[in-house]
Amino acid sequence: MSATRLLVLGVVRMHDGSGGAHGYQVRRELLSWSADKWANVQPGSIYHALKRLALEGLLEQVETPQGKGPDRLAYTLTDAGEDAFQHELQQRIADVDGAAGGAYEFSAALVFITALPRQLALDLLEYRLVQLEGQRANVGTVLDKGIEWGQPAHVNELYRLWLAHCDADISWTSGLIARLRAGEYVMADDAGHNFGSAAPTAMS
Amino acid sequence: MSATRLLVLGVVRMHDGSGGAHGYQVRRELLSWSADKWANVQPGSIYHALKRLALEGLLEQVETPQGKGPDRLAYTLTDAGEDAFQHELQQRIADVDGAAGGAYEFSAALVFITALPRQLALDLLEYRLVQLEGQRANVGTVLDKGIEWGQPAHVNELYRLWLAHCDADISWTSGLIARLRAGEYVMADDAGHNFGSAAPTAMS
DNA sequence: TGCGGGCTAGTCAAATTTGATTAGATGGCG
DNA sequence: CGCCATCTAATCAAATTTGACTAGCCCGCA
């Protein structure tokens, strides 16, 4: 599942309490998170994702009160959708998935982390930390062994850069774990969790 | 220009001294750099990029000695191709381009950094450093101002993560500048620069 | 000597992404 | 009122990406 799909699924889920969300709403929400920049979300992709997710039975079209203005199709999560969301979210939080796409594949999940119960989030992050440390060790070893195989010498720089990013991720992850443990943020199992009303971005 | 295109252009350029490169060769080279992982390079994209670049006049098909085995079309850089390569390379080294795609858009350029003369590389990196510091300051400010607009509180974590990555990039960039200044790596204007024979990956 | 497996080289249909464009409402303003 | 600008909502063709698949060649080996 691509980052876009998770984002779309997540945003629809947020608005699930208030009768679902339509494409433009999702788009606005994502725009307001600047997701067009860090996750490369274009309007077309959103509508495509909605259709695809509906086709796969993760979303369901709901009745729109009336047809004032343009078309406007709204969607809600099905049970399968909720499962997929949870699964994908947890996977992305826990798994480092070799560099590809880098930070933003993870960011797409981070945005929804409060949809998890606190202890689960902690467990997943702890697991992530282990992975990151493993990765760090790998990259470190390759670097130490020096100019490995035939690769041009300056690919060492690539490794050094990855190492720096690993370190950054490790320390940030530890920090987040600490903050969560200290009770920061309202998680899914906390009193007063209202995932839906996130932003007063508001609309129609 | 996408990362894939730069990579393809760069690899063809490497083999330019020895009568150009054909698709499979490029694919192999990129595979040997694990570019399929960090830059998401699939076979289809390579052949597509080759055709596109040829169509745009950046590459040119060259005569293949004989048709032993499968088809095998080889390409070389045109002058326009060299220009485009230099331009894109320099742009990517110098410009931070807001987060999208993150590290790997830059990595695609880093791989070819020795194709630049030393002083130019230094200037570009210095410029990059300034940008990174500006970005860091921005993110830092937003974080300090705390829960800004209606955004869910935990997007602060997103900013914290970006901040950490900024810091990592800044310190890595400074390091690379120092190493280049100290004369490390063989750059385009150094004696003994043989960009082409990078890897004994070899082929047919 | 003939057959499986692996490498070379590339193609292709299907899926996805891009981002410009359409088209109706809404709102201000001279 | 008449008219332009902007917001809402979504569609569409074109470009690109995905990765499974074809197909010839070469090598060893039973």
- Distance from residue A29 (CA) to nucleotide D10 (C1'), in Å? 16
- Inter-chain contacts counted by CB atoms under 8 A, chains A and B: 126
Three-state DSSP at A72 gives: coil
The DSSP output letter for B17 is: G
Cβ separation of A98 and B38 shorter than 8 Å?
yes
Radius of gyration of chain A (CA): 20
Roughly what angle, to the nearest 10 degrees, separates helices A23-32 and A43-55? 130
Cβ separation of A164 and B172 shorter than 8 Å?
yes
Number of H helices, E strands in chain B: 8, 3
- How far apart are alpha carbons B193 and A153 in whole angstroms? 12
Per the CB < 8 A criterion, the answer to whether B196 and B16 are in contact is yes
- How far apart are alpha carbons A135 and A97 in whole angstroms? 10
- How far apart are alpha carbons B14 and A85 in whole angstroms? 45
Set of chain B residues whose Cβ sits within 8 Å of the Cβ of A150: 32, 198-201
Q: What is the pLDDT of residue B71?
A: 64
Q: For chain B, list residues with pLDDT below 70.
A: 64-71, 98-102, 146-153, 194-204
Nucleotide closest to residue B43 (CA–C1'): D19
- How far apart are alpha carbons B10 and B6 in whole angstroms? 6
User: Mean pLDDT for each 10-residue chunk of chain A (204 residues)?
Assistant: 93 89 92 89 94 94 62 88 95 81 82 95 97 92 69 79 94 97 92 56 36
Where does residue A191 fall: left (phi above 0), alpha (psi -120 to 50 degrees), or beta otherwise? beta
- Is A37's Cβ below 8 Å from some Cβ in B? yes
- How far apart are alpha carbons A52 and A1 in whole angstroms? 11
Question: Which residues share a beta bridge with B21?
Answer: B75
Its pTM stands at 0.87
Q: Taking the alpha carbons of A43, A47, A52, A56 in that order, is the dihedral positive or negative?
A: positive
Q: What is the pLDDT of residue A182?
A: 96
Residues at the strand C interface (CB under 7 A)?
Answer: A 2, 4, 40-45, 48-49, 52, 68-70; B 22-25, 28, 43-44, 47-48, 69-73, 203-204
Question: What token pair was written down for A201?
Answer: 């971005």
Q: What is the pLDDT of residue B69?
A: 46
User: pLDDT tens, B162-180?
Assistant: 999 999 999 999 999 999 9
From residues 13-52 of A, list those within 7 angstroms of strand D by Cβ.
Answer: 22-25, 28, 43-44, 47-48
- Distance from residue B1 (CA) to nucleotide C17 (C1'), in Å? 15
What Cα–Cα distance (Å) separates residue B59 from each residue in B8, B39, B50, B70? 10, 21, 7, 21
- How far apart are alpha carbons B64 and B42 in whole angstroms? 24
Question: Which residues share a beta bridge with A74?
Answer: A22, A62
- Distance from residue B199 (CA) to nucleotide C13 (C1'), in Å? 35
Q: How many residues are there in chain B?
A: 204
